[in-house]
Every structure is written in C-alpha cells, then in structure tokens.
Chains A and B, each alone.
Chain A
Amino acid sequence: MTTIIAETSGNSLHPVTAQLVTAAGGDATIICPGGTGADEAAALSGVAKVISVEGDCFATFDGGAWGSAISSLCEGRVIAAATANGRELAASIAALKGCAVVQDVTGIDGDSITRPIYSGKANETLTVSADTILTVRPNTFPGADGGGSAPVNTVNQSADVAVAVQEAIAKASERLDVSDADVIISGGRGMGSIDNFSHLEAIADTLGAAVGASRAVVDEWGMSHSMQVGQTGKTVNPSLYIAVGISGAIQHLAGMRSSKYIVAINKDPDAPIFGVADYGIVATWEEALPALAEALGNL
C-alpha cells in the first residue's frame, strides 16, 4: 500500500495530488494535512482511504512540525509532490523515520526509480528500498479520475511549531507562476530591454500563460528571480514553452528542455535554442510577436 501526502492550494486540493494517486498505482491512502481538500481527495478514483489530519500546527507551513504530526500516520511507500512544501515535508519525515528520500521522481517501475539530475542535463535510475519516500514531479503522471467515494477518517495531531508567520506579502502581480503554468512564454536578452516584456505579457494574457525569463535578464535587468527558468531558477515542464530572444545557454536549456513542445523565436539562425525546439522561427521578436498575437487571435 501507499500513503500519499496531499498537496493543497489555498483551501482546496492541488491538481498534482490526483497525479500522485496515478503514480501510486492504486490502493492509496491520502493524508490531508490540516484537513484541507479531504472531500476532494475522497472522490478520486483509486483511493482506499483519506485521513484528514487536523491540528493547530497546520495553520501555517512548518515542515518540521507537519512532519512530526504526520509521520506516525504514514504506512508503506510514502509519496508526496515535488513542490516546495512537499519536498521539505518529505525530507523531514524521511529523516525522522531514518529512511531515505528521493526527490523529483519522473518514473516509477516497481523499486526502480528515474529522476532528472543536473536540472535535466542527465537522468539517473535508482533502486530504492520499500520504505524510501518519493516526491513526484508535477505534470509527470496523468491525474486520477473522479468518481471515487473513499471513507474519510479524521484524526487530531499536535506538534510544536517553530516557524511563525510575521507578515504575508501578496504577489506583486496576479500573473501565473511559471511553476504552475501549462503554457510559458519566456524572454531573454534578445528582448532588448525590460520594458519590452510588456509584449510577452500581452501574449501571455491571451494564452493564459506565465511569463518566464532567462538568467541574463534576471541578473542584468533586475527581473524577479521567481520568473527565472534554468538551472539556478525554476525547472519547468509545461505543455508549451515559447522562448523569445533566448539564445539557449546550457543552464537555461536544463530548466526547460523537458517541456512537451518548445517554440523558439530568435533572429540568430545558429542559436542553440533551435537545437531543442520542436518549432523554430528565425525572426526578430519585433516582427514575430505581432504575428503571433494575430495568429492566436484568429484561432
């Protein structure tokens, strides 16, 4: 059997949780920290049981406290999402149980586990013991369907909280984060200046996409590091990644090459980005972006 630690988003279940059920291959128990999303989890197909874990310690995220509260409820193989909180929680529970954790898994075949290393410049295949905790990369497995009706057990747990939230700071923009986006349009130094990112934002709004950036423009133009895609930024795997004015430095490619489809727009026909692009367009952004906006408008 497998224990899944639910990933939540606000007051509901994060879609990656349904993907973890698929990764588990059935007969899964889902633990919902703080009780969040328990009813949604119970409705997923392939779920045997939901444990809604309630307690004051779940009011804010403290991986150590959450781990202490959840650890004793975890049985069999434990799977969490390879998100910021999921990774910290999994590592904390593993150390508490004295077992190993393998993060950011992209393939599970019995005890044989595959994961990317060097931000996707290579992969590794590992043999893991039965109690090794896994975190699974979002958008790797399809989400389990609904239609289930698993029983929900509520338990109360307590733990000492050592991380206190002093101040919540809302996102500077309502724009989607690259980690969560199914479509990303990214700009690099070829965009000329930070002001020209408004053209990318306009297209992102049409597509419901997130706007990403290369390391060069984050470092040199002061764009937010949260937008940076690459080995020292975020590793992303959206369905569609559109790179505009990005030459394709090896550390950028590392962060986006696992995208399902890659479109590259660059005026330099020899830019390395074309080596990973499914569809390459040799053109300046000044010419290509208006054409892109028009073509999308005609869909």
Chain B
Amino acid sequence: MADIAVLLKQVPDTNAKIVISGGRVDEGAVNKWSMSPYDEYALESALAQGGSITAITCGPARAKKLLTDAAAVGATELMHIVVEDLTTLDSNQVSSILSAAVQRTGATVVFCGKQAADTNAGSTGPGVARKMGAACVTLVSELSGDASGFSALRPSSEGMERVSIAAPCVIAFDKMATELRRPNVKGIMMAKKKAVETLSPADLGVDLGAADVTLQAQNPPAEKPAGQKFEGAESVATVVSKLRDEAKVL
C-alpha cells in the first residue's frame, strides 16, 4: 500500500450565510466551519485505500480542527501549514507549499477535492501535480485499484470515461455515490490526543516571494431588482408572454 497524502481545506459550511464587512468576507459571522465537501470524498477514498494517510491543510489556526476531524475517521498523520490569511497567497504559492508538504510525507499518491467550496477554483490539484512531477486526473467520481494502477471515472465530452493512472499521481475528487464514514466515540477520543505537525512555509523550505495576485475587495453579489410575483396557475400564460416580450428569452 502506498502512502497517501490528502489535501483538505476548512471552509464556511455551504449552508452558512456569507456576510461582507469592510470589503472582506466577515469570518466572525460564519456560524459553522466545515471540511470542504469535495475534500470529504478525497478523505473517504483514501481511507478506503488504507495504509498511512497524512491529512494536510494549509490555513489559519482554526483549521487545526479539520485535521482532528480527519483523524477521528482514520487519518494516521496530521500536518498543518500555518498561513493566517489564505487570501494573501496566489495559486502558485499554494501549490508550492502543498507540494513541499506532500514531499515531506514521502507520499506518491495525493487525493484532494476538485475545488474548494470558498474559492471554487480547482487550481490546487493540477498545480500540486505539476510541482511534484506527478500525473493528474480531476472530477473523479469513482475510483478502484491501487497506486500501481488506479481506474478513475471522470466526465468527458461524450459522457463519462474510465481512465487509468498510476503513482506518482494526484486525484481530484468530485461528489461520489460513496457513503461518508462518520467518527465513533473511540475515534474522536483518539483524535484529540493525535499530534499535529505544525509548520510554516519557511519550515518546508518554500520561499514564497511576492504574490502575483492581490485581493482588492470582496463584495456581495449585485442586488437584483425585485421581481414580479403572480398568484395561481392562470398567471403562467402571462409570465410566458413576459418572457417573450420583456425578457426576450423565448
């Protein structure tokens, strides 16, 4: 069994309301932080493979909880690269940090989510793969086999396709049909005692340099003007004619 590194990100829960204050998302207003949903499938797929599984996150101090949660379901090693404000980093810097972290673990197989639920970018999997000199496949919704030869299901222009890929590789997961395992009491107790290796980018030997991308402001989406509301199915014909004549979309 090959060692697997799983890249995890803590994000506001997808049911959380996002509040903007002073041109930034107000983290204090986030009522619940969760593991990014696609990362949950990456972790689950790693646990299904078994063996040594290092859960890695890059983020502020609060993200440590994510690693403890991963340990509670079976991650064997935990690594926290502390970066207090991820919005100060560009994709290249994040890929550099995470690939250095993976190399420290010795893992040749990396699982991650197809994108994080906050930035929605999807740059990390392919970026880390490139920096590691590894192959990459994204949007994977089924996986079988092992590091000597995985078979992964991904979308294609014709529908879906099953592709083969072997270590060293990065696999970025989409939502899967797989049931996610939940921690039991013993797992939770064990996880609390589990050591977290806490490092800075400099500890990993990563010279970040200057970011190519600078955040100016985060803003709420443009308010839509109030819509028109109608009562009863008899109004459907009216709406259809408005779609044709006002909106010009039919």
Q: Give the residues in chain B near A102, CB-CB below 8 Å.
A: 91, 121, 213
| B213 and A239 form a contact (CB under 8 A) | no
| B162 and A167 form a contact (CB under 8 A) | yes
Known: A250-B15, A295-B237. A281 touches B157 (CB 8 A): no
- Asked if B221 lies at the interface with its beta carbon under 8 angstroms from chain A, I say yes
- Asked if B61 lies at the interface with its beta carbon under 8 angstroms from chain A, I say no
Q: Which of B14, B137, B213, B235 contacts A127 (CB 8 A)?
A: B213
| B218 and A124 form a contact (CB under 8 A) | yes
Q: Which of B123, B221, B227 contacts A101 (CB 8 A)?
A: B123
Q: Which of A162, A274, A283 contacts B232 (CB 8 A)?
A: A283
- Asked if B7 lies at the interface with its beta carbon under 8 angstroms from chain A, I say no
| A88 and B138 form a contact (CB under 8 A) | yes
Q: Give the residues in chain A near B151, CB-CB below 8 Å.
A: 166
| B212 and A100 form a contact (CB under 8 A) | yes
| B176 to A, closest residue via Cβ | A225
Q: Which of B122, B135, B229 contacts A163 (CB 8 A)?
A: B135
List residues 245-299 of chain A with CB under 8 A from any CB of chain B: 249-251, 254, 257-258, 260-263, 269, 274, 276-284, 287-288, 290-292, 294-296, 298-299
Known: A117-B218, A170-B159. A292 touches B135 (CB 8 A): no
Q: Give the residues in chain B near A284, CB-CB below 8 Å.
A: 233
- Asked if B182 lies at the interface with its beta carbon under 8 angstroms from chain A, I say no
Give Cα distance in the complex from A102 to B122, angstroms: 10
List residues 85-135 of chain B with CB under 8 A from any CB of chain A: 90-93, 95, 117-131, 134-135
Query: Which of A44-52, A57-65, A143-151, A192-200 sits within the interface?
Result: A57-65
Q: Which of A88, A232, A283 contacts B236 (CB 8 A)?
A: A283
| A120 and B221 form a contact (CB under 8 A) | yes
Q: Which of B90, B126, B232 contacts A282 (CB 8 A)?
A: B232
| B230 to A, closest residue via Cβ | A281
- Asked if A131 lies at the interface with its beta carbon under 8 angstroms from chain B, I say yes
Query: In the complex, how many angstroms separate the beta carbon of A234 from the nearest chain B beta carbon?
Result: 11
Known: A88-B138, A116-B221, A169-B162. A260 touches B249 (CB 8 A): yes
Query: In the complex, how many angstroms separate the beta carbon of B118 from the nearest chain A beta carbon?
Result: 6
Q: Give the residues in chain B near A156, CB-CB below 8 Å.
A: none
| A122 and B220 form a contact (CB under 8 A) | yes
Q: Give the residues in chain A near B235, CB-CB below 8 Å.
A: 281, 283
Give Cα distance in the complex from A163 to B160, angstroms: 14
| A225 and B230 form a contact (CB under 8 A) | no
| Interface residues of chain B: helix, strand, loop or mixed (majority) | mixed
Give Cα distance in the complex from A103 to B126, angstroms: 13
| B234 and A291 form a contact (CB under 8 A) | yes
| B210 to A, closest residue via Cβ | A129
Give Cα distance in the complex from A37 to B126, angstroms: 25
Query: In the complex, how many angstroms separate the beta carbon of A294 from the nearest chain B beta carbon?
Result: 8
- Asked if A157 lies at the interface with its beta carbon under 8 angstroms from chain B, I say no
Query: Which of B42-50, B73-81, B163-171, B191-199 sits within the interface?
Result: B163-171
Query: In the complex, how many angstroms separate the beta carbon of B75 from the nearest chain A beta carbon?
Result: 22
| B118 and A281 form a contact (CB under 8 A) | no
Q: Give the residues in chain B near A262, CB-CB below 8 Å.
A: 227
- Asked if B184 lies at the interface with its beta carbon under 8 angstroms from chain A, I say no
Q: Give the residues in chain A near B125, CB-CB below 8 Å.
A: 88, 91
- Asked if A123 lies at the interface with its beta carbon under 8 angstroms from chain B, I say yes
Give Cα distance in the complex from A279 to B123, angstroms: 37
| A240 and B138 form a contact (CB under 8 A) | no
| A232 and B122 form a contact (CB under 8 A) | no
Contact with B along A163-198 (1 / 0, CB 8 A): 111111111100000000001000000000000000
Known: A64-B130, A163-B163, A279-B227. A99 touches B243 (CB 8 A): no
Query: In the complex, how many angstroms separate the beta carbon of B91 from the nearest chain A beta carbon?
Result: 5
Query: In the complex, how many angstroms separate the beta carbon of B207 from the nearest chain A beta carbon?
Result: 12
- Asked if A54 lies at the interface with its beta carbon under 8 angstroms from chain B, I say no
Q: Which of B120, B129, B163, B169 contacts A119 (CB 8 A)?
A: B120
Query: In the complex, how many angstroms separate the beta carbon of A204 from the nearest chain B beta carbon?
Result: 14
| A10 to B, closest residue via Cβ | B157
Give Cα distance in the complex from A298 to B12, angstroms: 46
Give Cα distance in the complex from A122 to B237, angstroms: 34
- Asked if B189 lies at the interface with its beta carbon under 8 angstroms from chain A, I say no
- Asked if B82 lies at the interface with its beta carbon under 8 angstroms from chain A, I say no
* Pairs of residues from A and B, 8 with the lowest C-beta to C-beta distance, nearest first: A162-B135, A287-B233, A95-B130, A100-B90, A291-B236, A171-B159, A91-B126, A295-B240
11 pairs of residues in contact across A and B, judged by CB atoms under 8 Å:
A98-B92, A99-B92, A122-B218, A127-B216, A164-B163, A166-B151, A170-B158, A280-B228, A284-B233, A287-B232, A295-B237
Chain A positions near chain B (C-beta within 8 angstroms): 9-10, 60-64, 67, 84, 87-92, 94-96, 98-104, 112, 116-129, 131-132, 162-172, 183, 207, 225-226, 228, 231-233, 235, 239-240, 249-251, 254, 257-258, 260-263, 269, 274, 276-284, 287-288, 290-292, 294-296, 298-299
Q: Knowing that A164-B164, A231-B117, A290-B233 are A-B contacts, what are 10 other residue pairs whose CB atoms are under 8 Å apart, sorted by A's residue number?
A: A95-B95, A103-B122, A117-B120, A127-B213, A129-B212, A132-B213, A163-B164, A232-B38, A279-B229, A280-B227
